[in-house]
Amino acid sequence: MRRINLFKQHLEEKRAVKIIAGIDNFDIESVKKVVSAANQAGASAIDICADAEIFKAARQLTELPLFVSSVVPEELAQAVQMGADGIELGNFDALYKSGVRMGADEVLELARKTMSLINKAETFVCVTVPGHISVAEQIDLARNLEEIGVDLIQTEGSATTNAQSEGARGLMETAQVSIANTIELSRNVDIPVMTASGITPTTAALAFAAGASAIGVGSCVNKLDSSIAMMAVARSLVEIAERNIQREMVTA
């Protein structure tokens, strides 16, 4: 059984949890902690940077599906050759930190180039839709990505979204743009949508209620110092996702 089938099953059940080590996290010990925590928590998949040594180390620690993220099509194609179970064009956080913002046309062109470099029949492909472009542009981009054969859309918040409040209210403020984008995109494409940016145990249930089939979670896990804390947070996210199955059954 292909490892990616676990992730696909969880997508269909609208309870997938992808733990993100970080597209620009090249600290192998940090990544290993995230991978171990996600593995122990029973996550659906793990997302790592495009680095051969980190991929090798991650694969030795888990049989969960491994995604490799990059904004460089050639790196994504190399990840497929390494044995990645899925690839993601995104996350764009590293670009935003450098003051670079990618438009819809640029993302679509990179997606097309990536698709031309891989055997699509054997590769699961996810693409992040930038959260800073207009909703209309996001919908058009998502539809175009669906048309060229992308399997999954990942939303994000605005690159300028910053919480102004403390506590739960602050967490809601951080996640609200990505959750709103999830509502819009899930209504306009048939492929599943994964909500990322600002997703925590406080906001995860809202993402699923907004129409997400999956959540992508990074900083609330990978920024923790303790492996035990990482595992505990990851497990709480998995439990929230599992409860969403029950909600789907009740509303079906």
Q: What is the CATH number of the domain that holds 39?
A: 3.20.20.390
Q: Which domain holds residue 86?
A: 4-251
In this prediction, residue 123 has a pLDDT band, given cuts at 50, 70 and 90, of very high
Domain count, the chain: 1
Residue 191 in contact with residue 150, Cβ under 8 Å? Answer: yes
In this prediction, residue 1 has a pLDDT band, given cuts at 50, 70 and 90, of low
Cβ atoms < 10 Å from Cβ of 199:
29
In this prediction, residue 103 has a pLDDT band, given cuts at 50, 70 and 90, of very high
In this prediction, residue 169 has a pLDDT band, given cuts at 50, 70 and 90, of low
Shortest CA distance to 124 belongs to which of 55, 67, 44, 196? 67
Question: Average model confidence (pLDDT) for the chain?
Answer: 91
Residue 251 above 60 pLDDT? no
Residue 166 above 60 pLDDT? no
At residue 218's C-alpha, the angle toward residues 217 and 219, to 5°, is: 125
Residue 4 in contact with residue 235, Cβ under 8 Å? Answer: no
Mean pLDDT of 142-171: 77
Q: Please give the Cα distance from 186 to 214 (Å, whole number).
A: 11
Mean pLDDT of 117-132: 94
| pTM for this entry | 0.92
Residue 246 above 70 pLDDT? no
Q: What would the pLDDT profile of 183-201 be if each residue is shown by its tens digit?
A: 999 999 999 999 998 899 9
Residue 212 in contact with residue 14, Cβ under 8 Å? Answer: yes
In this prediction, residue 115 has a pLDDT band, given cuts at 50, 70 and 90, of very high
Burial of 3 (0-12, 13-18, 19+ CB in 10 A): middle
Q: Which residue has the tokens 């906001």?
A: 203
Question: What percentage of the chain reaches a pLDDT higher than 90?
Answer: 79
Residue 40 tokens read as: 């122990």
Mean pLDDT of 91-112: 86
Residue 204 above 90 pLDDT? yes
Q: Is 136 left (phi over 0), alpha (psi -120 to 50) or beta?
A: alpha
Q: What would the pLDDT profile of 2-25 be if each residue is shown by its tens digit?
A: 899 999 999 999 999 999 999 999
Residue 133 above 70 pLDDT? yes
So what's the pLDDT on residue 165?
Answer: 57
